[in-house]
Amino acid sequence: MISFHNEGGIMYRFIFLLFLSFQTNAADFVHPYPSFSEGEKLYTFPDFLNAHYYISYDSENKSASIKAEISFKTEEEGYPLFDLKENPTRVELDGKEIETPLVDSPKKETKFRVMNQLTSIGVHTLRVEVPLKFLLRYTDKGVDSAFWLADLDDRSFLENYIPSSFENDSVEMIFDVSFKISADQQIFANGEIERTGDRDFRITFPKEYTSSSVYYHTTPLGSFNERRFEIKSKVSGKVIPVIVYSKTISNFNSYEESIRQTMDELEADYGPYLHSSFIVYDADLSRWGLGGMEYCGATVTNLWAVQHELFHSFFGRGVMAANGNSGWIDEALASWRDGGYFSNQNMRERRALVLDFPYVKKTNRLAYSYGKNFISFLDGNTKMPIEMKLFMKSLYQKKSWTPITTEDLIVELDLFSGNSYQQLFDEYVYGNKSTLDASELWIEPNSSEHSIHRKISGEDLYKIL
């Protein structure tokens, strides 16, 4: 690491620029969000380098708390933004206590927390203390707690629980989890879990993870039926451990068969599975007509949607979305697979999948229907022929673990096909932005359209905790 506090000679600046350009190309901060100003203040988006979260559960007080230590880098002087829904009890920036009020994005599509301290270019340390209140329940057996995420709601990724960066920013994350609880707890998480003490665990997540990647669920030992099995990849030879757990299912044969078949299909079509395991929480969501939610190598779902969710470990949580305006890509691709990869030569409708809200966090629901139709039109368009499945294979091999934007998709389509897709995207993806408003994002799918990602409410999540 190069120190940013030295005197700036020419040679130093040269090294500094090299360092910056290397950093820009690295996967950890591919698409910095643009800073914005309000009055005299410039609000900036820092690059989180690593984040260490200490999560403590206390059954006597029936409470839980988070202490976070985050190292981040800023490349502009200003007021750095992050997000955290719950009000923190104490925040320190470089050892000095600061306030972190909420600020609106310029078009009010979301809110951020701001470190209310003019912050110089360089590396800084943020410490945050905050209670954990959401999705927490104590019983006589222990504690149920989960950091479940949602991509159809605003501010519902990790910021719903812990201080977090954004979907464009890969961060090295560690959870140190300790239980002041007499009974034993188990943890389901898509990171490496080690037992570090009698009631202490450390979870180390892959460094490519962003605010929409982490799966974390703890529950008293023995609360669930489960099946563990292994899939040996026919493509890479890698052994992929799979866990399926459920309260309502005890025979997991259909699950195992579906996951094995789908893994073989997707690896044959797109290439080797990226993640070190696949975790499935069967939450019996179909009772409420819900499908599920995807994570990197994990999902909360039910049997009829598990194929769709495993697809997301390739697109969505393999090739990742850099922001809410690119969330439509993986839902359109997943829905296109669900519908049997059909081709269409025509596209009658013209809607907007990308809206003029640069900081939007949630996915446009038109992705499942209109977005799917647009992908089938790309595949069937005789004026600009492209085999979309082959293109997807190339995209997966090139952009795995990388957050992408809609603009990246256009560049990759152009490179793959030799055509120019900008005009087609202007017409069918960007639409006429000036006539649209934020309400476009809240369109409910028709009942005839599948509801794999129908919005899950906080109350629903407590039911499945």
Q: Least Å distance between CB 450 and Zn ion?
A: 10
Span from 183-191, 328-336, 343-351, 435-443 in contact with Zn ion (CB under 5 A): 328-336
> Is 320 an interacting residue with respect to Zn ion (CB under 5 A)?
no
Q: Least Å distance between CB 281 and Zn ion?
A: 16
User: SS3 for 355?
Assistant: coil
Q: Least Å distance between CB 150 and Zn ion?
A: 12
Span from 78-86, 153-161, 217-225, 329-337 in contact with Zn ion (CB under 5 A): 329-337
Gap between the Cα atoms of 46 and 35, Å rounded: 10
Are the beta carbons of 32 and 47 closer than 8 angstroms? yes
Gap between the Cα atoms of 210 and 323, Å rounded: 11
Nearer to Zn ion, 16 or 304 (CB): 304
Nearer to Zn ion, 331 or 379 (CB): 331
Residues 238-257 that bind Zn ion (CB under 5 A): none
SS3 content of the chain, % helix, strand, coil (to 5): 30, 30, 45
**For the chain, counts of helices (H) and of strands (E):** 9, 25
Gap between the Cα atoms of 97 and 126, Å rounded: 10
> Is 126 an interacting residue with respect to Zn ion (CB under 5 A)?
no
Nearer to Zn ion, 144 or 294 (CB): 294
The values of phi and psi at residue 291, to 5°, are -95, -65
Which residue do the tokens 């989890």 mark?
Answer: 177
> Is 285 an interacting residue with respect to Zn ion (CB under 5 A)?
no
Q: Which residue number places its CB atom closest to Zn ion? A: 334
Q: Least Å distance between CB 201 and Zn ion?
A: 30
Residues 100-119 that bind Zn ion (CB under 5 A): none
List the strands of the sheet with 403-404, edge to edge: 315-316, 319-321, 403-404
CB atoms within 10 A of CB 199: 16
Nearer to Zn ion, 127 or 454 (CB): 454
Nearer to Zn ion, 66 or 334 (CB): 334
Residue 67: strand pairing partners: 54, 129
> Is 353 an interacting residue with respect to Zn ion (CB under 5 A)?
no
Nearer to Zn ion, 313 or 381 (CB): 313
Size of the site for Zn ion (CB under 5 A): 3
Gap between the Cα atoms of 280 and 274, Å rounded: 16
Which residue do the tokens 């988006």 mark?
Answer: 45
Residues 429-458 that bind Zn ion (CB under 5 A): 453
- The tally of CA atoms less than 13 A away on the side-chain side of residue 370 is 22
Q: Least Å distance between CB 218 and Zn ion?
A: 25
Rule CB under 5 A: choose which of 259, 322, 329, 334 binds Zn ion: 334
Residues that bind Zn ion (CB under 5 A): 331, 334, 453
